[in-house]
Amino acid sequence: MNEEQEKQLLKHVRIMKNCIVTITVCAVVLIAYDGFQFYRYHFGYSLSDIAFQKKIQFAYRNQDHQRRVELCENRLKEQPEDNQALWGLGDAYYKLGRWQDSIDTYNRLLDLNPGMEEHIKPIIEKAQEKLKEQEPPQQINSLDSSKAAPSPSE
């Protein structure tokens, strides 16, 4: 093989390499698009659903529960019966120690999904316990009502 043939061969190898890279990138894009279409078709997810999920996951991983509250409350303004937003909001309230808000949100989720009772009821019960622990003890009167002094009119 002479020098000119070798240069031609190297040129063709580079072209083939570039073609393979281009084909691979196109395949990845098509697979990603097909994957999105699969989820959209089978599960009803839209791009806004996927974006919401990503934001919620990011906030959860970073333990930014206040951000999760904001995201979920905004989502529920648009879609009041969004199960994922209700679950995330209830969990975020729980993590922030907002027990009554957590209980109310989980009860709302339970109203929409009675079949999830076995998963939701234990969380509600734990939040109710936490709420009771948080309440200040009742004041005990120094005078028992049965031993109260008679009124001046008696």
pLDDT along the chain (154 residues), means of 10: 82 78 63 53 63 90 96 94 93 95 95 91 94 74 49 50
Q: What is the pLDDT of residue 147?
A: 47
| Distance, CA of 44 to chain centre | 17
CATH topology for 47-134 is 1.25.40
Q: What is the pLDDT of residue 21?
A: 72
Q: What is the pLDDT of residue 104?
A: 97
Q: What is the pLDDT of residue 154?
A: 47
Q: Is 102 exposed, middle or buried (0-12, 13-18, 19+ CB in 10 A)?
A: buried
Q: Where would I find the H helices in the chain?
A: 3-43, 47-61, 65-78, 83-95, 99-112, 117-134
Q: What is the pLDDT of residue 1?
A: 73
Q: Are 67 and 88 in contact (CB under 8 A)?
A: no
pTM value is 0.60
Helix axes 65-78, 47-61, angle to 10 degrees: 160
Helix axes 83-95, 117-134, angle to 10 degrees: 30
- Gyration radius from the chain CA atoms: 31
Q: Which residues contact 79 (CB under 8 A, 6 or more apart)?
A: 85
